[in-house]
Amino acid sequence: MKVSVINKAHEVALEERETPSPGPQEVLVRMRAMGICGTDLHVYEGGHPVVTFPHIPFHEMSGEVASTGAGAEDLRPGQHVVVEPVIECGRCYSCRIGIPHNCFQLQFRGIHVDGGGREYMVVPRHKLYPVPDDWPHEKAALAEPLGIGLESAHTADLIPGDTVAVFGAGPIGLAVLLAAKQGGHRTLIFDIEEPCLNRARALGADEAVNLRQTDPLEAIRDFTKGEGANVVVEASGKASNFPLSVEGVSICGRVVIAGLILEEVSLVPFTLIRKRISLRGTRNSNKIPQAIELLKERPEIAETFITHRLPISRVKEGFELLLKRPEDICKIMLLWD
């Protein structure tokens, strides 16, 4: 079988490897579609602190059942499936309280271990979720990033009537927007690029504001009649949005950090006390089934999110596009022939 391997920063090659076989409670999946996300880009650039080379990337992935091992025969050959990338221990505190995607010994396909950039992959049966066979594979691969947005909304403990502000209209920010709108919440979203904001408008944002043109705190005050947003989700990964999130949230509000902010930020703890703010982080997701249902309810999501489709042979081009023209891209899907 062919595999897409990053051998060192900015160097990707298609190589031949032996096709594996499934064991008990396992399924051999023929991989068909993988989305490129920001984490994959960090790996490609050689800047991810966990990944070592050579490495097979990608964790947003879907495919079809090739064969099944004993005990996994409820899935049939050819059936379309989404792969959950989380590998948890099942014993630690996070696993015991129902948050296995934050496992103390977490392994994540495409990061800690090799991911979906290969023609065939053996996956435990319980990590596969069937989807309609008439779905394009790239649509099914959206379930993982959509699940991240759903998890962020879940982390926020949204209450009926809450107003929601989102910094960042990339795939995760848009997924947060969809989760908030699904719950009936008025939602304001910020970005610096008009194509991203136009996608947010198409998906139902009540307001979509360009940070280069409008002061975000004024926009939040206008949107909430001076109260502040009850929930603010930082989904851009920009450190400059952290103080804006804390300042823009209402008294007794929640700030959820979903973007990967690697720089140091400062916070006066009295701000948390004065406003009784709850500051929360969110990571990964176990919301793939809910994401699949959302894709069923809103079929327009796929065409709004997926801006580029490329064969796996052009994977390097996909990475370089994301580096050079991020404003034109929401989600690049790589497809096996």
Query: What would the pLDDT profile of 120-149 be if each residue is shown by its tens digit?
Result: 999 999 999 999 999 999 999 999 999 999
Look at residue 320 and tell me whether its pLDDT is greater than 90. Answer: yes
pLDDT score recorded for residue 112: 94
Is residue 15 situated within a structural domain? yes
| Collapsed DSSP state (helix, strand, coil) of residue 110 | coil
Question: What CATH number should be reported for the domain holding residue 175?
Answer: 3.40.50.720
Residues 312 and 189 in one domain: no
Residues 266 and 166 in one domain: yes
Is residue 171 situated within a structural domain? yes
Per-residue pLDDT band for 45 (boundaries 50, 70, 90) equals very high
Residue 236, Cα to own-chain centre: how many angstroms? 12
Residues 234 and 199 in one domain: yes
Is residue 240 situated within a structural domain? yes
Mean pLDDT calculated for residue range 176-195: 97
> In sequence order, what are the residues at sequence separation of 6 or more whose Cβ sits closer than 8 angstroms to the Cβ of residue 213?
none
Tokens of residue 72, six digits:
């996994």
3-state helix, strand, coil in the chain (%, to 5): 35, 30, 40
How far is residue 201 from each of residues 87, 158, 169, 301, measured CA to CA in Å? 35, 21, 10, 12
pLDDT score recorded for residue 326: 86
Look at residue 337 and tell me whether its pLDDT is greater than 90. Answer: no
Tokens of residue 164, six digits:
């929601």
Residues 189 and 273 in one domain: yes
Question: What CATH number should be reported for the domain holding residue 27?
Answer: 3.90.180.10
Mean pLDDT calculated for residue range 252-267: 93
Domain coverage including residue 178? 148-281
pLDDT tens readout for residues 102-111: 999 999 999 9
Mean pLDDT calculated for residue range 321-326: 91
Residues 254 and 153 in one domain: yes
Residues 65 and 176 in one domain: no
Mean pLDDT of the chain: 96
Q: Give the percent of the chain with pLDDT over 70.
A: 100
Q: Give the percent of the chain with pLDDT over 90.
A: 94
Alpha helices per DSSP H over 231-312: 241-248, 269-275, 288-297, 300-305
Answer whether 0.85 is exceeded by the pTM: yes
Residues 128 and 172 in one domain: no
Is residue 293 situated within a structural domain? no
Look at residue 195 and tell me whether its pLDDT is greater than 90. Answer: yes
Is residue 20 situated within a structural domain? yes
pLDDT score recorded for residue 96: 97
Residues 13 and 115 in one domain: yes
Is residue 288 situated within a structural domain? no
Is residue 317 situated within a structural domain? yes
Residues 258 and 319 in one domain: no
Count of domains forming the chain: 2
Is residue 134 situated within a structural domain? yes
pLDDT score recorded for residue 330: 95
Mean pLDDT calculated for residue range 251-265: 94
pLDDT score recorded for residue 179: 96
Per-residue pLDDT band for 262 (boundaries 50, 70, 90) equals confident
Residues 196 and 239 in one domain: yes
Residues 169 and 186 in one domain: yes
One-letter amino acid for residue 189 of the chain: I
Residues 57 and 137 in one domain: yes
pLDDT score recorded for residue 49: 86
Per-residue pLDDT band for 176 (boundaries 50, 70, 90) equals very high
C-alpha span between 299 and 280 (Å, rounded): 31
CB atoms within 10 A of CB 113: 12
